[in-house]
Amino acid sequence: MEQKKTLPKNQTWFRDGAMASWPICFGYIPIGLALGVLANQAEIPTWAVAMMSILVFAGSAQFICVAMLAAGAGIWAIIFTTFVVNLRHFLMSSAVAVYLRGLQRMFLSFFAYGITDESFAVNMTHFRKGNWDHKRAITVNQLANMAWITSTVCGALIGQFIPTGAFGTDYALTAMFLALLLFQLHDAVYVLTGLTALGIATAWYLLIPGDSYIIGSSVLAASIGFFFKRYREKKR
């Protein structure tokens, strides 16, 4: 125990990153399994699920993709929706780039690939405390990545043995987004934005055919929320 205390800081980077990432990894396991099961029931082959997790590595976008494929959506609609949903990664990458100055572009590209909502939150918390570096941060990213890929592939493999709708797997997508939404409702602006998105999406779905209501309601509601926040700040 005494020896661990005297270890130089740069020799504990993997252990520190692993300790910070384990809650993310355990959280990814049930969601990844659910995604794999849903993908299997949507008749997406296991190899395609694996490649999706490796190349995309974005839970919400992958759930949307599976749902849209099951609904018969076109390839360009899926690509554009994924692009819009993942636009937030530009903001997260910009925020964390402040702490990664002077590093090689190859490392930065590999690091950017592994950024998710959860790994970003964990790394930013540690960066702000001042006890973190790029090695620990990328360890968090890639261990979470490995947990996600493994769980989605396992879910796809066992999905063939699970009847459609069993264990509430058909509700997994809705449940995940409801949970994500609740954690975003910090104040009245976020509540207003969520309610606006709900109203616009419902009206758009009823009046305009197709799947464009997802993108349209997101863009319009986010814009309204942004201007309302600016207005409230100026009023104060």
Q: How far apart are CA 181 and CA 168, in angstroms?
A: 19
Same structural domain for residues 120 and 56? yes
Same structural domain for residues 197 and 98? no
Same structural domain for residues 152 and 127? yes
Which of 117, 144, 169 terminates a domain? The answer is 169
Same structural domain for residues 21 and 91? yes
Average pLDDT over residues 72-93: 82
Same structural domain for residues 128 and 190? no
User: What is the domain extent for residue 146?
Assistant: 14-169
Tell me the CA distances in angstroms from 130 to 125, 137, 157, one per residue in order: 9, 12, 42
Which of 125, 142, 169 terminates a domain? The answer is 169
| 159-194: pLDDT as tens digits | 777 766 565 656 665 666 676 677 667 678 878 888
Which of 145, 169, 193 terminates a domain? The answer is 169
Q: Is 125 part of a structural domain of the chain?
A: yes
Q: Is 67 part of a structural domain of the chain?
A: yes
Same structural domain for residues 199 and 124? no
Please spell the DSSP secondary structure of the chain, one letter per residue: -HHHHTS-GGGSHHHHHHHHHHHHHHHHHHHHHHHHHHHHHTT--HHHHHHHHHHT--HHHHHHHHHHHHTT--HHHHHHHHHHHTTHHHHHHHHHHTTSTT--HHHHHHHHHT--HHHHHHHHHHHHHT---HHHHHHHHHHHHHHHHHHHHHHHHHGGGS-TTGGGGGGHHHHHHHHHHHHH--SHHHHHHHHHHHHHHHHHHHHS-SSHHHHHHHHHHHHHHHHHHHHHHHH-
Same structural domain for residues 52 and 119? yes
The token pair at 97 is 């780039």
> Number of folded domains in the chain?
2
Determine if the pTM surpasses 0.85.
no
Same structural domain for residues 27 and 112? yes
Same structural domain for residues 105 and 204? no
Average pLDDT taken over every residue of the chain: 81
Which residues, in sequence order, are CB contacts of 76 under 8 Å at separation 6+? none
Q: Is 175 part of a structural domain of the chain?
A: no
Same structural domain for residues 29 and 123? yes
Average pLDDT over residues 37-51: 88
Structure-token match 């969601």, residue found: 31
Quote the Cα angle for 85-91-94, to 5°: 145
Q: Is 179 part of a structural domain of the chain?
A: no
Q: Is 178 part of a structural domain of the chain?
A: no
Average pLDDT over residues 90-118: 87
| Whether residue 139 has pLDDT greater than 90 | yes
To 10 degrees, the CA torsion angle through 141, 125, 221, 180?
60
Q: Is 77 part of a structural domain of the chain?
A: yes
Same structural domain for residues 84 and 119? yes
Q: Is 8 part of a structural domain of the chain?
A: no
